[in-house]
Structures are given as structure tokens and as C-alpha cells.
Amino acid sequence: MSVIENNTEQCGNSLTRELTQNPLKKIWVPSSKNGLPERHISQRKVCMTNCPTLIVTVGLPARGKTYISKKLTRYLNWIDVPTKEFNVGQYRRECVKIYKSFEFFRPDNEEGLKIRKQCALAALNDVRQFLTDEGGQVAVFDATNTTRERRETIIRFAEQNGFKVFFVESVCEDPDVIAENIVQVKLGSPDYTHCNTEEAVADFMKRIKCYENSYQPLDEELDRDLSFIKIIDVGRRYLVNRVQDHIQSRIVYYLMNIHITPRSIYLCRHGESDLNVKGRIGGDSGLSARGKQFADALGQFIQSQNISDLKVWTSQMKRTIQTAEAVGVPYEQWKALNEIDAGVCEELMYEEIQLKFPLEFALRDQDKYRYRYPKGESYEDLVQRLEPVIMELERQENVLVICHQAVMRCLLAYFLDKTAEELPYLKCPLHTVLKLTPVAYGCKVESVCLKVEAVNTHRDRPMNVNVHRTAEDALQTVPPHL
């Protein structure tokens, strides 16, 4: 912050410093005396928070704490908030190589308690490192944290290090939900590799019992100065207390929109378009003959899947709408699902981009996620644009999203937890439907190729990304076209 103020004073008469446009992201930044862009803070959309945040889960075993931790972490990373989860159970497994039985968790097991406390402290230490030294912004401390005493320890730790604390408590007494949790994620745990199902369930139930007696849920009165959300019965009811800042507000909104009702999300691109065939990017062309075939095949495929209450979403571009028309069910158009805006490169072939804008072409290969087309968008912009789509996808149940290559990559990256580096190179070929089904802590992906030929539109990162490379090197990975 002080960098900007100092410089302004130095400039004396001219109160406005020179601006240069960062060549990669096309962001205007003040330039220092030697003409180079200055180190400029918040170029992000908004400053999420001033200091790092520690999210602390609270709840008995099998209440979905790890599910929530992982999902929340995935979401925050996708919206560009560096987040990491720290699961104390994992620390315990590293410490105590072999899990014998629930007895380890008995409240009168002195040895067990000692080890568990050590693990919690080791995890907190790693949290401190992540938030203070590694540029992390949010750390999710995933453990039961069921006693006020344990929570006090964490609060003191956070205070010492200047972290904000936000508790996420999951309270659930529905035996069906708990049983389902145990089946879905506990039986497959390393703790129970040597047990059969009945044994594992019996042991785990006893484990839960060990915590029950000392469980002190967050209390509206006693904990009224803490910031927290209490999730009751998998989202039927929420108690939200003292949201401190923007990121906590976004976290609350996200948690209030997710659900665990089984469903599937189908992602696909529009059918092959006329511009696809010519190797041109962007534009708003119609479907080619093969594209229309795909649309019909898609209609048949969807019918055969017998999906209950399927919602169909398209962008506002002709090619996705034409594709949806063939499916024959009502669909909703989202402008937010429009393909990435290639600005001055709209409707050009890669060969033409290399010819007219070789520097831009190289910059894009250097950092495809952050690179913004002149007068266009970047993948980073796309993610921001798509956030309301993701939020609504979380709320919905069965949905088919007919979109575009870059858009589909962004959505896929969210569901499959891909990094910003991998995202722009995810393979999303034409005429292929991806069926995503949430399972355990992640997402099952089934890829269905609908057997209608189409051009390949995937351009891999070339070996040579130097701005001085030859045209040949630049165009090495361009897929064939007419």
C-alpha cells in the first residue's frame, strides 16, 4: 500500500503517474521511473480479506466435516483464494501407524489424548506455515473440535498469529444420514482396511460415542462473540453469527447453497460449428452438418438416460442453442455461459493470430490462464463470470450444460479440482458428453463419446513459448482444419 503513496509524493507537480498496460493481463498499472510496471497490489476483483482466515470445523464424527472442508477448499481455490485443508485425522494416522479400535478415542485414554493433542498442534503449526510463509489465505482446520477448551486453544493460536477465525459446525441427528456417511466414506478409510463392514460400522459407532459425552456445541449465548455458522440437518437450518468480512460472507452463501441429494451434471460443448471446421476461434456461427448430427445424437442419449427433472442450460450463442433445440426439452439461456471473448482475435485462425499478433500469441502460451486477449477476456475473467453458474449448479439437481471449450474447461476444473495451470489445457473434445456424479469426497466422471466425427479443437502448449520463436514453433501444436 505504501509503495503507491510514496511515489506520488515524489512526483511533485504531476500527480498522475504514467500508466502502462501489463502485456499479459492487459491491466493498467502505474509505471515507475524506468518505465517498468510497478508492484501493484489488489488487481484482483476485490480484496477478499485483509488477514488470513482460519476456518475451523466442529462436530461429531460422520457429520460431513471433511466433506464440507474439501468442497469448500475446492471452491475457494477455484475462485482464486489460496486455500488448503488440514485434516487432523491424517496427522493421527501418520503418528499412530496402525489403528486398532475405537479404544484409542476413549476420553480416559491418557496416551491417546496426548497423541491427539500433539497431532492437533502439529497441524496448527503447518497451518501457520501455510498462512504466514506460503502465501495461503485460508486454512481449513478439519477436526472434531467438539470441546470449548480445544476451540479456545485454536482461538488463542489464531490471535497470536493475526488470523481471523470462522467456525463451521455440522449438527445432525438423523440416523439415516449418519449411516450413509459411514458407508460412503468411513468404510473405505485406511483405519478400516482390515475390517469387514459390520465390524467397521460397529467400531465407528462406538468411536462417535467417545465424543458424545464431552461435546459442547457452539452456543448462541456462550459463543456469541465468535464468528460461526451452524449447519443443522444437512442444510435444513442454519444459524449464522457475526460474519466479519467479505470472504466469510461468501463462504456462508456457498455453504447455504450446497446439498447432498444424489444427482448428475452433464457437460458438453455445442455440436461442431462452421467456424470450428475452418479452424477459426470464437464468433457466433451455426452448426455444421456433423454438428447437427451430434445434436440429434445428444437428444437420443439424454432420452436414454431417463433423467428425472433434467434442466438444460445453454449460452446465448447460436451454436449451443441449436444443439439444445434438437434435445427437444425446454432450456434456459445464460449469457454467462458464452465462450471466452477473444477480442481482436475473434474469428481468426491460429495461423492468422501468429501472423498478426505474434507477441500476443507467445504471451498466451506463456500463461494461458491469466492471458487476456486485447479487448477480450482471460480464463481468469471467465472463472469470475462463471461463479454464479457454479453457485446455481450447486443448488440444482440434474442439469445438462451445453457450452463451449474454454467455458467447459473452467467448469470441469471446478468439479475435478484442477489447478489454474492445468485448467486451460483440459481436454474437452467436441461431441463428447461428460457425466459428473458426486461420490464420497469427489466426483465420478464418465465420458461418453457420441460417435459423430468432429474436428479436433485442442491446441496443446508448444515447446517453445519464447516471444522470438519462429512461426513454425508457434504453430507446432495447431490441430488440422480446412
Partner 1 sequence: MMDALPKDFLRRTRCDSAASRPQFTNCPTMIVMVGLPARGKTYISKKLTRYLNWIGVPTQVFNLGQYRREAVQTYKNYEFFRPDNEEAMKIRRACASSAMKDIANYFAKEQGQVAVFDATNTTRERRGVIISFAKEKGYKVFFIESICDDPEIIEANIMQVKLSSPDYENYDKEEALVDFLKRIDCYKMSYVSLDEEKERHLSFIKIFNVGSRYLVNRVQDHMQSRIVYYLMNIHVTPRSIYLSRHGESELNLLGRIGGDSGLSSQGLKYARALSEFIRGQSIKDLKVWTSHMRRTIQTAEALGVPYEQWKALNEIDAGVCEEMTYEEIQATNPEEFALRDQDKYRYRYPKGESYEDLVHRLEPVIMELERQENVLVICHQAVMRCLLAYFLDKSADDLPYLKCPLHTVLKLTPLAYGCKVESFYLNIQAVNTHRDKPTDVNIARKPEEALRTVPEHL
Catalytic residues: 142, 172, 270, 339
Q: What residue ranges bind partner 1 (CB under 8 A)?
A: 1, 4-5, 8-9, 15-17, 19, 21, 26-28, 30, 41-47, 220, 224, 236-243, 246, 249, 252-253, 256-257, 284, 286, 313, 316, 318, 321-322, 325, 332-336, 346, 375, 381, 384, 388, 392, 395
Q: Are 405 and 337 in contact (CB under 8 A)?
A: no
Q: Are strands 138-142 and 332-333 parallel, antiparallel or unpaired?
A: unpaired
Shortest Å distance, C-beta 147 to partner 1: 23
Cα of 473 vs its chain's centroid, Å = 33
Shortest Å distance, C-beta 289 to partner 1: 11
Q: Are 102 and 46 in contact (CB under 8 A)?
A: no
Shortest Å distance, C-beta 73 to partner 1: 21
Nearest to 462 by CA among 370, 366, 374, 369: 366
State phi, psi for 94 to the nearest 5 degrees: -70, -35
Q: Which amino acid is located at 265 in the chain? A: I
Nearest to 187 by CA among 204, 166, 208, 210: 204
CB closer to partner 1, 235 vs 429: 235
CB closer to partner 1, 123 vs 312: 312
CB closer to partner 1, 276 vs 322: 322
Shortest Å distance, C-beta 321 to partner 1: 6
CB atoms under 10 Å from CB of 39, counted, come to: 10
Q: Are 369 and 378 in contact (CB under 8 A)?
A: yes
**Lookup: cell for 447:** 465420458
CB closer to partner 1, 62 vs 326: 326
Q: Sheet holding 442-449: strands in order across?
A: 332-333, 311-314, 399-403, 265-269, 432-439, 442-449
CB atoms under 10 Å from CB of 79, counted, come to: 19
CB closer to partner 1, 121 vs 243: 243
CB atoms under 10 Å from CB of 102, counted, come to: 17
Q: Are 363 and 24 in contact (CB under 8 A)?
A: yes
What's the CA gap between 141 and 157, in Å, rounded?
12
**Lookup: cell for 307:** 433423467
CB closer to partner 1, 203 vs 223: 223
Q: Is 230 exposed, middle or buried (0-12, 13-18, 19+ CB in 10 A)?
A: buried
Shortest Å distance, C-beta 24 to partner 1: 14
Shortest Å distance, C-beta 19 to partner 1: 6
Shortest Å distance, C-beta 17 to partner 1: 6
CB closer to partner 1, 375 vs 427: 375
What's the CA gap between 249 and 337, in Å, rounded?
25
